[in-house]
Amino acid sequence: MLIGLTGTPGTGKTSVSKLLEKRRGWKVVYLNDLIKEERLYSEVDEERDAVVADMELVENRLNEIIDETEKESANKIVILESHLAHYITDIAIVLRAYPPELRKRLEKRGYYEEKINENAEAEAIDLILAEAFEWCKKVFEVNTTGRTAEETAEDVEKIIDHLLSGKEDELQEYSPGSLDWIDSVP
């Protein structure tokens, strides 16, 4: 089962993924690393020091990884970690962080002011959540505000265990759309 772990930069996708790898042995694909390491891109944007992913190459490679994972172990979970993951997966877990808290995290990571504003504003207008609704069949939302990375990892683990159980009922505490941070944009 391929599950997208998405969210604005700084919401904790990488931290949570590393904890889940350790705790549950689930396979995590760090999409941005995969694209660069395996050259799954069609062109390089020198100006922005970025690459343009070739989505067909990416999807083919992901299918191979899923098959390999399912053959190698009893593990049935592949987590796709990236703020673009929801463009690829049918299931998305969207991490959220109250913009003022997100700012602090990004400042700690040494982001420059303009990039911090850009991400804080995107988070305030629910940009990634809206995209996930558009692209995914199933969307879960996890508010990481005021929680530790460990607690968020537990939230994500609970959602994935629910999916593994095959239960169709909604996980109320993670149903999307309950956060409204539009007023946090200065």
Residue 90 to residue 41: CA distance in whole angstroms = 22
Using CA atoms, how far residue 119 sits from 72, 79, 87, 148, in Å, is 38, 23, 18, 20
Q: Which is nearer to ligand ADP, 36 or 76 (CB)?
A: 36
Tell me if 152 contacts ligand ADP by CB under 6 A.
yes
Q: Which stretch binds ligand ADP (CB under 6 A): 7-15, 60-68, 162-170, 174-182?
A: 7-15
Asked if residue 32 binds ligand ADP (CB under 6 A), the reply is: no
Interaction of residue 10 with ligand ADP, rule CB under 6 A: yes
Residue ranges in 100-139 that form contacts with ligand ADP under rule CB under 6 A: 105
CB atoms within 10 A of CB 157: 16
# chain residues binding ligand ADP, by CB under 6 A: 15
Closest listed residue to residue 44, CA positions, set 31, 35, 34, 57? 35
Q: Which of 2, 3, 4, 16 is in the footprint of ligand ADP by CB under 6 A?
A: 16
DSSP state of 87: G
Binding to ligand ADP in span 46-105, by CB under 6 A: 105
